[in-house]
Amino acid sequence: MKVKLREVHSVFAWTWHIPKESQDAHAETIDDNDGDDVCGICRASYNATCPGCKFPGDGCPLVVGECNHNFHVHCIYRWLDTATSRGLCPMCRQTFQLKKGLAINDSQISKFQELRNKQWQTRQQEFGDQQDPETNPLEDQDDPMMDQGLIVR
């Protein structure tokens, strides 16, 4: 018997590959209607986009934290880029760090490192401001105890 193919409709699906040990961390969080795992910040599926993006995939990737909590990179970056986040994971309140040795994180490492440096500098500036009599006239600048405290910190 000969079969003649007239047309082929290819259908495919994709999903982010999340390393096994990082998958169950979200078991308690709310699933969206499709039962997919969702980003703890925007509540959209990992395979969908963050609220700021239109196209899923490489344009709106995931990152995996050292604490095994995963987020859209845009969501967690926006959070970590606030002073009030104090660099902490929204789910578990540990310092959020990208898990090492994962392909999914590799392209983001420098970006997150820059953010950490930026915040460190901001803190340094605040630190410097305290010593500046013009910006903080109420502080007693000659207080030796204060100076000691600053050095210890």
Partner 1 sequence: MARIAREYKHIQATLGSESSLVVSLEPIDGDLSRWAGEIRGPTGTPYEGHTFSLRLVLGDRYPTTPPQVTFARRSMPHCNVNYETGSICLNILTPEHWSPAWDLLHVLEAIIQLLSDPEPDSPLDIDLANILRAQDRSAYYGLVNYYLQS
84 scored as a contact of partner 1 (CB under 8 A): yes
Within 91-150, the residues that bind partner 1 by CB under 8 A are 91, 93
Of the candidates 49, 86, 52, 54, the residue with the CA atom closest to the CA atom of residue 71:
49
Rounded to an integer, what distance in angstroms lies between the CA atom of residue 41 and that of residue 89? 10
Binds partner 1 by CB under 8 A, chosen from 18, 63, 70, 79: 79
Of the candidates 90, 54, 56, 58, the residue with the CA atom closest to the CA atom of residue 71:
90
Please say whether the beta carbons of 64 and 104 come within 8 A. yes
H/E run at residue 75: helix 73-80
40 scored as a contact of partner 1 (CB under 8 A): yes
Binds partner 1 by CB under 8 A, chosen from 8, 11, 13, 33: 33
Phi-psi region of 21 (alpha: psi -120 to 50; beta: other; left: phi over 0): alpha
Q: Compute the least distance from the CB of residue 61 to partner 1, in Å.
A: 18
User: Residue 75 or 104: which CB sits closer to partner 1?
Assistant: 75
62 scored as a contact of partner 1 (CB under 8 A): no
Q: Compute the least distance from the CB of residue 84 to partner 1, in Å.
A: 4
Q: Compute the least distance from the CB of residue 51 to partner 1, in Å.
A: 5
